Structure formats: C-alpha cells, structure tokens
C-alpha cells in the first residue's frame, strides 16, 4: 500500500468479520454467552472500521479540493 492511513480501518473491518464468524459458530454450538459477546465485538469493530474509512475518505477529498483550488483557481 502506498498510503497506510486506511490500514487501521481495514484491520477493524477484518476483525469484525472474524468476530461475526465466531458469533455464528458459537450460536451453532449453543454457547450463547460467547455468541453475544462476539456479536457485540463484531458490531463495534465493524462500526469503527467503517467510521475510520469514512473519515479518511473525507480527509482525502478535502485535501484534493484544496489542491484543486490552489492550482486551478477554484474552477
């Protein structure tokens, strides 16, 4: 990757997917407590990952807009 700023967000999304798989497996094995805990972790990690990626996308758009305005006179 050229820009590592998105990496934490991608890791959080991956952790959310893994936690969701653990959640499904736990419910299949009737381990309800572990399943609920994994579901909470999955929701939090996925939400944090999407929030990170959204903030990074907004930051990049802002930098591109500033560069465009500085180099093209705002057109």
Q: How many domains does the chain have?
A: 1
Residue 8 has which token pair?
Answer: 């934490």
The answer to whether residue 18 is domain-embedded is: yes
Domain contains 2: no
Domain residue limits at 49: 7-72
Do the domain assignments include residue 19? yes
Residue-level pLDDT, tens digit, the chain, 75 residues? 577 889 999 999 999 999 999 999 999 999 999 999 999 999 999 999 999 999 999 999 999 999 998 888 755
63 contact partners, CB below 8 Å, separation of at least 6: none
Q: Is 1 within a domain? A: no
The pTM (predicted TM-score) of the whole model is 0.84
Distance between CA atoms of 38 and 30, rounded to whole angstroms?
13
Domain for residue 38, yes or no?
yes
Residue 55 falls inside a structural domain: yes
């Amino acid at each position: 990757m050229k820009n590592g700023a998105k990496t934490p967000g991608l890791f959080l999304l991956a952790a959310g997917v893994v936690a969701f798989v653990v959640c499904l497996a736990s419910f299949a094995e009737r381990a309800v407590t572990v399943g609920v805990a994994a579901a909470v972790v999955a929701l939090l990690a996925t939400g944090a990952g999407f929030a990170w990626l959204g903030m990074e996308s907004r930051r990049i758009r802002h930098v591109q807009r500033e560069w465009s305005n500085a180099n093209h006179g705002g057109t």
